[in-house]
């Protein structure tokens, strides 16, 4: 049994944070640096999806009518004993600002990401000191609450 690499915690945090940056900048191609190619996801707004491109397309469609700002808060990461996988629970707040007829309106979502992450290509780390590239292989998104004008998500 090998000891988990503590730098992997930071690499995992960066992967999860990159998800929020991809959404808020609308650079959905960056999701290929967040998820494994065969990722499985469950979202409250779109159900179950498989494959990074399918997930990226659904998120792009969902967020196209809004400007957003996603923030991460409480987080717990548990590395597997062999250091090749991890479980992460991350709380988030997502604020969605309306455009067009919804200008000045917003809807805020509070929830959590429950992720399984997989270590890919040991030795090809994106973070110095980490064991390799970490990608989300499974994600379930749970809303704990929503507040505001839901219509902003529908756009014009």
- What pLDDT digit, counting tens, does each position of 71-105 carry? 999 999 999 998 899 999 999 999 999 999 999 99
Q: What is the pTM of this model?
A: 0.94
Instruction: Give a yes or no: residue 13 inside a domain.
Output: yes
Instruction: Give a yes or no: residue 1 inside a domain.
Output: no
Instruction: Give a yes or no: residue 45 inside a domain.
Output: yes
Is the pLDDT at 1 greater than 60, yes or no? no
Mean pLDDT, the chain, whole residue set: 94
- What pLDDT digit, counting tens, does each position of 130-153 carry? 999 999 999 999 999 999 999 999
Instruction: Give a yes or no: residue 117 inside a domain.
Output: yes
Q: SS3 of 61, please?
A: helix
Domains identified in the chain, total number: 1
Instruction: Give a yes or no: residue 123 inside a domain.
Output: yes
CATH number for the domain including 91? Answer: 3.10.450.50
> What confidence score (pLDDT) does residue 3 get?
75
Q: Is 100 left (phi over 0), alpha (psi -120 to 50) or beta?
A: left
Give the chain's length.
Answer: 156
> What confidence score (pLDDT) does residue 80 get?
94
Is the pLDDT at 45 greater than 90, yes or no? no
> What confidence score (pLDDT) does residue 109 get?
97
Q: Is the Cα torsion angle 57, 59, 65, 67 positive or negative in sign?
A: negative
Which structural domain, as residue segments, surrounds residue 131?
7-153
Instruction: Give a yes or no: residue 143 inside a domain.
Output: yes
Count Cα atoms within 13 angstroms, Cβ side, for 49.
Answer: 21
Helix segments in the chain, DSSP class H: 7-25, 52-63
Average pLDDT over residues 27-51: 95
Q: What is the percent of the chain with per-residue pLDDT over 90, rounded to a whole number?
A: 85
Instruction: Give a yes or no: residue 2 inside a domain.
Output: no
Q: What is the percent of the chain with per-residue pLDDT over 70, rounded to a whole number?
A: 97
From the list 113, 111, 118, 140, the residue with the least C-alpha distance to 48 is: 140
Strands (E), the chain: 35-43, 47-50, 66-79, 85-98, 106-120, 133-148
Instruction: Give a yes or no: residue 84 inside a domain.
Output: yes
């Amino acid at each position: 049994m090998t000891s988990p690499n503590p730098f992997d915690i930071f690499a995992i945090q960066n992967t999860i944070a990159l998800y929020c940056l991809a959404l808020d900048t609308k650079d959905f191609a960056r999701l290929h640096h967040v998820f494994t190619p065969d990722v499985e996801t469950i979202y409250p707004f779109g159900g179950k999806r498989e494959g990074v491109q399918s997930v990226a397309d659904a998120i792009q469609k969902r967020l196209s009518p809004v400007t957003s700002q996603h923030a991460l808060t409480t987080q717990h990461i548990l590395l597997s004993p062999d250091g090749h996988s991890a479980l992460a629970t991350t709380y988030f707040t997502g604020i969605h600002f309306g455009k067009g007829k919804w200008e000045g309106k917003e809807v805020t979502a509070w929830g959590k990401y429950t992720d399984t992450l997989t270590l890919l290509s040991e030795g090809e780390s994106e973070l110095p000191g980490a064991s390799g590239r970490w990608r989300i292989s499974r994600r379930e998104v749970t809303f704990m609450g929503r507040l505001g004008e839901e219509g902003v998500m529908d756009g014009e």
